[in-house]
Amino acid sequence: MKKIKILSVVGARPNFMKIAPLLREFRKHKRIESVLVHTGQHYSCSMSDIFIKELKIGRHIALKAGPGEPIEQVKKIMGRFRKVLVKERPDIVVVVGDVNSTLACALVSASLGIKVAHVEAGLRSFDFSMPEEINRKFTDAISDYLFVTEPSGLKNLRDEAIPDERIFFVGNIMIDSLVSSIKAARKKNTLSLLGVKRREYALLTLHRPSNVDNANSLSRIVNILKKIAKMTTIVYPAHPRAVKMLKALGYWENLKRINNIIITRPLGYLDFLRLMIDAKFVLTDSGGIQEETTYLGIPCFTIRKNTERPVTITQGTNTLVGDNQKLLISLISRLPRRIKRKIPKLWDGKTARRITAILMRAASG
């Protein structure tokens, strides 16, 4: 039986958690020859190398694209990735999420007539000021296999006239990684190292340009954090880009002076998951964390005016708060001991298995 060569692409932190379950599943099938390409969009050890080690991703081709303005970064990735495709000649290229690497590698693959599979297809915030929204829409338009995480994705793709035969509702690949990592995460001594106790701290992530690239936004967020820090300890694993902008806009020292905030370097997946599992609540502008907190039943307050993951609100524990200080403080002060949530359909840790089966059938046909 003919072998299937599948080339998978990662570029930024969340991509590693999405691709790791697929790589594990691919290894179970002798028919599949699996190749991983790391574009280097996130180029620091703390943002990539540690995930390669913890998630047991193994050997990979490194493009080392590095930092840069979005257009220049996409251009550099496309040029380097094209050389890999010409050499490797895969049957299918798998891209995940919505980062610059996702769009760049999908475009090159489609231009060379190579089938493209997009994991996490159909998510829409309907906010075109977000680079991720543009990446999502264009990637979906040129992909051959669109793997959807939640019902809103099915509707969005059909509204965009994507043929049904290209759309597959398979569940959430991020939950595969979470399910397989919970046991190892619980063994980490992260809380004691940071000097915090279970359910007595909030976990913060902050990195989106709409929040950290604007002085007015940062001012409002820092003021919000000052209020929250009077109510509970805040643990903030600081994203390198966010630190750069906080310093450039003059808010880094203000943030560091807040009593009761613990600022750490970026954490590995297991350490971060350990913190998330036992947080009182999570304050974030990340998409994936909205999903993970929904599965874990941890209250999540999203510092955005929109979300491309509406199921985390309708069935999960997520609330959009934007930069509304009054609303957020009110919600935190009235937090119940238990949050009602329903785990969305097919968020069961078996998404990689479903995707692999579909790709194998498609390649055979």
CA dihedral 140, 143, 145, 147 (to 10 degrees): -30
Strand pairing partners for 4?
32
Query: How far apart are alpha carbons 241 and 209 in whole angstroms?
Result: 9
Backbone angles phi, psi at 54, to 5 degrees: -65, -35
Question: What DSSP assignment string belongs to 46-114?
Answer: GGTHHHHHHTT----EE-------HHHHHHHHHHHHHHHHHHH--SEEEEETTSHHHHHHHHHHHHTT-
The active-site residue, picked from 42, 118, 207, 239, is: 207
User: Helix (H, G, I), strand (E, B), or coil: what is residue 194?
Assistant: helix
To the query of whether residue 42 is one of the catalytic residues in this protein, the response is no
DSSP secondary structure letter of residue 285: -
Would you give the distance in Å from CA 250 to the centre of its chain? Answer: 28
The residues assigned a catalytic role are 207
